């Protein structure tokens, strides 16, 4: 720690730069994971299951890493460990085309390992960011952080696409991601030195109840919101499945898939800023638009015309931005500070179950049962909207605590 603390905005911005570099790594990977797995012999269903399982693991394991962070106070340590896993595993995907029959299994494992790193760091990272952003407004703080995050998510796929085009080999794009991976760790070390935010609960977020109170329960509004976001996440199938459609329908070549993904990330950057600032002004009702956006995605992204598909992917990017940024601000406002990492872990588990189901559902139904897929997702978004209304209705009630 340093004697002089950085300003709140400087810490938020630096944390954003950390995520910018990290997103170059793992979003660069995600943009090309579908074509890579296909080139290694995977089917559309396998791509959907691997990418869906990766997202489920990235979210579901937070049920462990979140409470662990709250119980041990190791928020910084878990954050660093998670980023290191991502920085190492993604560049190693470059070797998978040279492994013969084992290539598909190794690539699948590395994708899962990268998502494990995401699971380890995310509750701790979100908790640290929620504390850093509180003085500037959590909606704004998460929005600016997400916007910088998305700059990396835009640049990473372009870097992968550029190297793949220049060399004629997709593996070269994965290898170059070692550079932003190293930058992630360096920036994170600078952030740790530049802030005196320690591993303890700050005074303003500490429990105000008597000392006999052991641990407040997660409030009812939080559980309703978790259910709502699980339903919306199920409808937001992974880009890996959408990229399979882009390639198999001959809408774009494999080399252009990362560029399409980069465009979606650019949409996310703008959408995160807009939704975050709207959240600080309007409140949780800003999120009512999320299920409506998700319900439109499957009919558009699996169409036969490139223009319609690109519109669908842009809407997917818009919905994903809200899902990945503004919803975290509401979680922080719903839950007592000393249970925040736990809450992020539980919340992510609900999203993880939705991601796993959504990946398998989309991968299994889009080729022969597209109408059924659209109907199922629309029904789930109606349920998502209903439970979101419940969240907004009951959120003002104070959390219930248990005494010792």
Residue 264 falls inside a structural domain: yes
What pLDDT does residue 95 have? 92
Q: How far apart are CA 378 and CA 365, in angstroms?
A: 15
Residue 168 structural domain: 8-200+208-397
Helix axes 370-394, 289-301, angle to 10 degrees: 170
Q: What is the pLDDT of residues 73-129, one digit of tens each?
A: 888 889 999 999 999 999 999 999 899 889 899 999 999 999 889 889 988 888 888
Q: Which residues of 9-46 are buried (b: 16+ CB within 10 A; e: fewer)?
A: eebbbbbbbbbbbbbbbbbbbbbbbbbbbbbbebebbb
What pLDDT does residue 1 have? 40
What pLDDT does residue 110 have? 93
Residue 144 falls inside a structural domain: yes
- In this prediction the pTM is 0.66
Residue 108 falls inside a structural domain: yes
What pLDDT does residue 282 have? 79
In terms of Cβ atoms closer than 10 Å to its own Cβ (0-12, 13-18, 19+), residue 274 is: middle
Residue with tokens 């603390």: 5
Q: How far apart are CA 180 and CA 163, in angstroms?
A: 14
Series of mean pLDDT values for 10-residue runs along the chain (404 residues): 67 89 89 84 80 74 82 88 93 91 91 90 85 80 81 86 86 92 92 70 43 59 87 80 82 82 82 81 83 88 89 90 79 80 81 76 74 87 88 63 39
What pLDDT does residue 140 have? 79
Residue 31 falls inside a structural domain: yes
Residue 64 falls inside a structural domain: yes
What pLDDT does residue 208 have? 43
C-alpha distances in Å from residue 259, one per residue of 26, 222, 262, 310: 15, 37, 5, 11
Count of H helices and E strands in the chain?
16, 2
Residue 58 falls inside a structural domain: yes
Residue 234 falls inside a structural domain: yes
- Among 175, 61, 34, smallest CA distance to 118 is for 61
CATH code for position 160 = 1.20.1250.20
Residue 404 falls inside a structural domain: no
Sign of CA dihedral 69, 320, 228, 353: negative
Q: How far apart are CA 6 and CA 204, in angstroms?
A: 19
What pLDDT does residue 396 have? 54
What pLDDT does residue 5 have? 72
Number of compact structural domains in the chain? 1
What pLDDT does residue 216 have? 62
């Amino acid at each position: 720690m340093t004697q002089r603390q950085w300003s709140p905005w400087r810490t938020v911005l630096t944390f954003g730069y950390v995520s910018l570099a990290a997103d170059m790594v793992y979003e660069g990977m995600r943009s090309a994971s579908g074509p890579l797995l296909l080139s290694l012999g995977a089917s559309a269903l396998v791509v959907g299951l691997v990418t869906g399982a990766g997202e489920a693991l990235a979210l579901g394991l937070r049920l462990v890493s979140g409470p662990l962070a709250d119980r041990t106070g190791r928020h910084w340590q878990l954050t660093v460990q998670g980023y290191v896993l991502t920085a190492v595993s993604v560049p190693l995907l470059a070797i998978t085309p040279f492994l013969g029959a084992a290539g598909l299994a190794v690539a699948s494992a590395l994708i899962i390992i990268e998502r494990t790193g995401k699971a380890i760091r995310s509750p701790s990272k979100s908790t640290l960011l929620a504390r850093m952003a509180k003085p500037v407004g959590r909606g704004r703080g998460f929005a600016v952080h997400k916007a910088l995050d998305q700059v990396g998510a835009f640049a990473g796929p372009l870097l992968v696409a550029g190297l793949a085009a220049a060399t004629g080999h997709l593996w070269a794009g994965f290898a170059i991601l070692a550079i932003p991976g190293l930058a992630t760790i360096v920036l994170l070390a600078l952030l740790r030195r530049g802030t005196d935010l320690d591993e303890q609960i700050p005074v303003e977020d500490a429990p105000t109840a008597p000392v006999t109170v052991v641990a407040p329960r997660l409030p009812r509004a939080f559980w309703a919101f978790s259910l709502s976001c699980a339903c919306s996440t199920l409808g937001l199938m992974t880009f890996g499945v959408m990229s399979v459609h882009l390639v198999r329908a001959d809408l774009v070549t494999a080399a252009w898939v990362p560029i399409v993904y980069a465009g979606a990330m650019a949409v996310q950057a703008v959408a995160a800023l807009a939704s975050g600032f709207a959240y600080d002004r309007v409140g949780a009702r800003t999120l009512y638009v999320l299920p409506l956006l998700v319900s439109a995605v499957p009919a558009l992204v699996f169409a036969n015309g490139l223009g319609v598909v690109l519109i669908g992917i842009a809407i997917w990017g818009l919905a994903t931005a809200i899902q990945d940024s503004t919803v975290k601000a509401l979680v922080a406002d719903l839950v007592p500070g000393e249970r925040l990492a736990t809450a992020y872990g539980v919340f992510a588990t609900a999203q993880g179950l939705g991601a796993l189901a959504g990946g398998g559902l989309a991968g299994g139904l889009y080729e022969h049962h597209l109408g059924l897929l659209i109907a199922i997702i629309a029904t789930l978004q109606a349920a998502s909207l209903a439970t979101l209304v419940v969240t907004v209705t009951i959120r003002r009630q104070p959390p219930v605590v248990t005494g010792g």
